[in-house]
Structures are given as structure tokens and as C-alpha cells.
Amino acid sequence: MRHLRVPNREVEAVLGHIRAREWGAVGMRVFSSKDGFSRLIPLGPNAPEEFPESLAMFPLEVHEGVPVDKIETDWLALLVNEIDQETIDSLGESLPSNHEFIGDMMIVRLDDNAAPYADAIARAKLATHPHVRLILNDEGVQGEFRIRQLQPIGARLGGSVLAGPTLEFAPPEILSTTVAVKESGRVIRCDPTKAYFSTKLQTERLETLALAKQLREELGRPLRIADPFCGVGPAIAPLLVEPNLVGDLLAADLNPDAVGLLFENLSKWERQKYPSEPIPLSRVYENRLVGVADASLLDENEDIVGKWDVIIVNLPHRTIELLPNIISLLDRTSPSLIRGRVIVEESEIESANTQIQSILPPIQSGKPTPKLHIKRDYSASLRLCSFEAWIASS
Ligand SMILES: C[S@@+](CC[C@H](N)C(=O)[O-])C[C@H]1O[C@@H](n2cnc3c(N)ncnc32)[C@H](O)[C@@H]1O
């Protein structure tokens, strides 16, 4: 295999040229010359016979290739091959310190300082995460459907990485944001650019499962569960895994794309057919009321009011405002449960608790007074909180 012999201090610059043109040998690594003064850069089949002037001064040598033996796990160590150390130091905290995985996608947040280096960051991150197909910059959540604005900054195509201008040539399937996420033994199909989905809510969903099992124990029968802001259905997934937990199910969302993905998910989870396109809220099966609906209008539907044992309220910016509509959906002839999420200023948690307690009907005796529990920071001052309310029968 041909190798380019490059003095140590010039290796980074030359590697930059070679990577940009995809002339390197995939799966082979750079290694040191015997005298230790140079490095040998392996060249792949794309490398030309004759190099441009900027590289022609380095001698070509034929050696056996040395396979990549271990994957570098520190992406910043690889970023040094892309950007000079001074620039890296000046970027400081602008460089993304964490990332989120959704299926085989990695999502990072680049601020204005880091954005010009998006392709270098993408190459370094993809090199340290060989299972990632696509890396995207998160430009924020938009609108009432809470859809993410995700901009592709790098993708893996076979053995090479596309980033910067080369990304334009990526085949559409490589840039697809529809992915499968495995959670609680179920595969959830989602597309965060079309419908809300967060991998960070897994613990929350398992807590909801534990609460529902507790209520089933008390009622001694499967539950009628409503998730009127269900998105693609992740909160329902673990509930359906538990045998004899879900009797009747209402799963609705205002976003038709979310409902389309929900139907794909329900078809797989329940091994029964759901519509291939989103439809308005309908009884697809006797015990399955699913489809597109505005949750704030459900209390106008006699088929839905007063019928549910558990209601999941995950519209954190509007949960408190919508609580009165939600309460009327509960079957008050037996104990029931509301599981909600709220975004609130940390300084206003106490007053939000008082407000929630004043809206809710009486709480089952022996059960705790509903209170917001902080789950994580939403911004510098806002907190994402959860609560559960055990409602007494009337
Ligand atoms: C925070 S997401 C939660 C989604 C899902 N429950 C989850 O945990 O992934 C809120 C969802 O409410 C939906 N939504 C917003 N306004 C709504 C309304 N008025 N009625 C029904 N769904 C609504 C959005 O489309 C979004 O899917």
C-alpha cells in the first residue's frame, strides 16, 4: 500500500488535505517511521498517481498497511487534526460538550462561534462514534408540535465521512431523520424533525409504568389509559409491554405526522393493523381510540368524558391551563391517576403547586398531596417538573 512520508510537524496539515479529498485508506492508520522523525500516511484507491504541488514534495513509499487497531474515543484529540490548537482553545466552551443519540443519529448544539467549524466537528465526532450514521446541529424546538430544527452537518457513507460541501452529494437515505429507537424492549419509530421525541424521558416513562401498576393493583382490573398528547407513543410503549395493564387506550395528538408514526408503532407493538395514514380520532378497534385530535376539545366528546382511569398530560408549557379539561375525562366512580409534566420558573414552583392543588378534585386518602418534582433544567431559570395526582372517587 502506498504511503506518504511526512515530517512529524507537517502531518496534521497534510492529513487535512488528504481527508478533504478522501485520498486516505479506510481502516488503515498513520504510523511512525523507523527513525521517528516522520509519519507514514496510508493512501487509498482514490489517491491520484501524481500529487498536486502542495503534496508532491513528500516521498511516496510502499509498505504493508497497518489496520486501525483501536478507535480514538476522545473527539477533541481528533479535532486537533482538523483545526489548529489555538482555534480550539479560543472556541473553549463553544465546542459542544455533550450530545444526544436518537437511533443512529447524533445531535449536537453548535453556537454561533462553533458553527463555522461544523464540518471539522462532525468529522471528529463521527470518527469517535463509528455506529453513528448522521450528525445534526440542533437549531431549537419550534411551534406547538415541539418539532426540532435539525441541520445535517456530517454523514457516513460506506467507509468515508461526508461533511461541509461534500454533504450535498449524500444520497437521501443517508440523510433520513426517521429512525428506530430501542427502549424498554420495544422499538419506537420516530422522526424528531416531524414529531416530538426525547430519549431523555425514559426514566419518566418507567415511573409512569410503576404508578399505573400500583393503580391496577388497587382497582384489580386492567386500566383505561388516555394519552391525549401522545406524540409517536413512547409513554404508551412500556405500558403495552406489561400484560393485562392496558384495557382501553386513547392515544391522540394534534400533529398528523406524530399520529402517522404512532400508527406504525402501534401496528408493530400490538401486531394488528392500524391505518397507513393519520386519521381524525376514531375507534380503530373497540378498545383503541386513536388519531388526530385537539386535547383541549376532548371534553366536548361524550364518548370520551368520564371514561378514563389514568391520564398522561405531557404538554409541559400548557399542562396547568388544560388541567380542568383533562379532569373531566376521568372516571370519578373509582380512584384515578393524573400524571403530568410542567415547565415552570424555579422561583414559582410553590405557587404552581398551590394552583395545581386548587384545580384538582379531592385526593385519595393516604396518598401524597400532588407536588412538582424537578426533573431537570429547561433553561437557566426554568425547570422541567413532573407530578402525579391520585384522585379520589366522588
Ligand atoms: C412534549 S410533546 C410529548 C409527546 C409524547 N407524549 C412524548 O412523551 O414523547 C407534546 C405533544 O403534544 C402535542 N400537542 C400540542 N398541542 C396539542 C393539543 N392541543 N392537542 C393534542 N396534542 C397536542 C404535540 O404535537 C406533541 O406531540
**Cα 322 from chain centroid?**
26
Q: CB of 251 closer than 6 A to ligand 1?
A: no
Beta strands 60-62 and 2-7, pairing class: antiparallel
- Distance (angstroms) between ligand 1 centre and the Cα of 180 equals 20
- pLDDT tens profile 344-377: 999 999 999 999 999 999 999 999 999 999 999 9
Average pLDDT over residues 236-263: 97
Query: Of ligand 1's atoms, which has the minimum distance to the CA of residue 228?
Result: 21
**Cα 385 from chain centroid?**
19
Whole-number Cα distances in Å, 289 to 90, 155, 230, 317: 55, 39, 12, 25
Q: What's the predicted TM-score (pTM) here?
A: 0.81
Lowest-confidence region among 12-21, 228-237, 249-258, 332-341: 12-21
Q: Among residues 387, 341, 382, which one has the least CA distance to residue 198?
A: 341
Report the half-sphere exposure of 109 (CA within 13 A, side-chain side). Answer: 10
R_g of the chain computed on alpha carbons: 27
Helical H segments across the chain, by residue range: 11-20, 53-56, 75-79, 85-91, 118-128, 202-219, 236-241, 256-270, 319-327, 349-359
Average pLDDT over residues 214-231: 98
Task: Give strand pairing partners of 154.
Answer: 135, 163
Q: Which CATH architecture has domain 194-391?
A: 3-Layer(aba) Sandwich (3.40)
Closest residue to atom 6 of ligand 1, CA basis: 230
Question: Cβ neighbours of residue 21 under 8 Å, at least 6 residues apart?
Answer: 46
Query: Of ligand 1's atoms, which has the minimum distance to the CA of residue 322?
Result: 19
Confidence of residue 72 (pLDDT cuts 50, 70, 90): low
- Distance (angstroms) between ligand 1 centre and the Cα of 147 equals 10
Q: CB of 378 closer than 6 A to ligand 1?
A: no
Query: Of ligand 1's atoms, which has the minimum distance to the CA of residue 144?
Result: 15
Q: Where are the domains of the chain?
A: 2-62, 75-177, 194-391
Superfamily of domain 75-177: Met-10+ protein-like domains (3.30.300.110)
Yes or no: say if 391 and 362 are a contact pair by the CB < 8 Å rule: yes
Q: CB of 167 closer than 6 A to ligand 1?
A: no
- pLDDT tens profile 41-68: 999 988 998 888 888 999 999 998 888 7
- Sheet order of strands, 160-163 included: 100-102, 105-108, 134-142, 147-157, 160-163
Q: Which residue has the higher pLDDT, 4 or 35?
A: 4
Yes or no: say if 177 and 148 are a contact pair by the CB < 8 Å rule: no
Yes or no: say if 320 and 346 are a contact pair by the CB < 8 Å rule: no
Yes or no: say if 76 and 95 are a contact pair by the CB < 8 Å rule: yes
According to the model, what pLDDT value does residue 70 have? 61
- Sheet order of strands, 60-62 included: 31-32, 38-42, 2-7, 60-62
